[in-house]
Amino acid sequence: MEIDLQQAYDAYAKLSDKEKEIIRKVMTGPEREVLKKVFGMGFVSAMGNFMLPLAKRGKGLASKS
């Protein structure tokens, strides 16, 4: 399976904020591991670009950059 990343980014940009938040939560939650098992690490890595914005990440030391 090949994924056209540019097409995915363009489609993502057209989503509502609520829809974007749904994708971000999936990519930072346990669903990500299920997707990795089904579609492989390449898919999950490509989708990793849709993670939560910095303002919504944790406040612990691990979240500091």
Is 0.85 topped by the overall pTM? no
Q: What is the pLDDT of residues 6-62, one digit of tens each?
A: 888 888 889 898 998 888 888 888 998 998 999 888 888 878 776 655 455 555 555
How does residue 5 score in pLDDT terms, banded at 50, 70 and 90?
A: confident
* Residue with more model confidence, 1 or 21: 21
Q: State the Cα–Cα distance between residues 30 and 3, nearest whole angstrom.
A: 22
- The number of helices, as runs of H, and strands, as runs of E, in the chain is 4, 0
E strand segments, the chain: none
For helices 17-28 and 31-39, the axis angle rounded to 10 degrees is 80
Single-letter amino acid code for the residue at 49: N
- Give the per-residue pLDDT at 65: 47
Give buried/exposed letters for 25-35 (b at 16+ CB in 10 A, else e): eebeeeebeeb
* Residue spans per domain, the chain: 14-52
